[in-house]
Amino acid sequence: MNIYAMKAIYHFEMARTFRSPLQSIASPVISTILYFVVFGSAIGSRMAMIDSVPYGVFIVPGLIMLTVITQSVANASFGIYFPKYLGTIYEPLSAPISPWEMVIGYVGAATTKSIVIGLIILSVSYLFVPVTVAYPLVMLLFLFLTSVAFSLLGFIIGICARNFEQMSIVPTLVLTPLVFLGGSFYSIKILPPIWQTVTLFNPAVYLISGFRWAFFGVSDVSVGLSLGAIALFSALLFAVIAYIFSTGYRLRN
């Protein structure tokens, strides 16, 4: 395993983040703070409790997941697309480094950024609502697995995209609606039975539900099912990446 190559890619991607901290870190944190101000402080005090949890506190895990998912995809997709755009992607492709070592470098950097942003948002949330984390290790596990899974998705999007507009289609038109409709701001238990069944086909439900269980010990679906859904999703993404590198799709031409 070429450790030096993976470290070089990882350090390069992390250095790019620190060169633009306002865009990479401050912007998503500030956007999430606005949600805390509007939904947590302004509206939350007028909402009923959900599963014995104040509404302003209840939405914290969902807001963290919303930001972590979108940032994981954005960081990983931009990280691999930019070398394609500049034409420098052929340097690592021709270097003595395996495809999976490239994936570890790019996805590892995107995962690190997303975890840092998620922890910053969690820290900031204490300024607005009294958040408690019942199972910190489980919370970190879900944060890590979610960041890895959606960084892998972002890596695929960055390879498949032909321009910057195509890179933004999936996060804007697919991921954000799925997370919003996946129980970020409510429990799916309050929905009519038919819509509860429909919502279970939304993969974001399992991520948000498992992450919320780590905070409050309550969830819409079992924790085991949430972990299984993340594992299945990650395995599917690994299979897609393996196909891309084996065929050279959008890499060799």
d(CA 31, CA 127): 15
Looking up tokens 């993969």 gives 203
200: helix, coil or strand?
coil
d(CA 68, CA 79): 16
pTM of the model: 0.89
Q: How many CB atoms lie within 10 A of CB 217?
A: 13
Per-residue pLDDT of the chain (253 residues; tens, 9 = 90+): 778 888 888 988 888 777 777 777 888 888 888 887 777 666 666 777 787 888 888 889 999 999 999 999 999 998 888 888 777 777 777 777 888 888 899 999 999 999 999 999 999 888 888 888 999 999 999 999 999 999 999 999 998 888 888 888 888 888 888 888 888 888 888 888 898 888 888 888 999 999 999 999 988 888 999 999 999 999 999 999 988 888 878 776 5
Domain ranges of the chain: 3-247
Contact 62, 212 (CB under 8 A): yes
Contact 182, 204 (CB under 8 A): yes
Structure tokens at 72: 């994981």
Structure tokens at 76: 């990983």
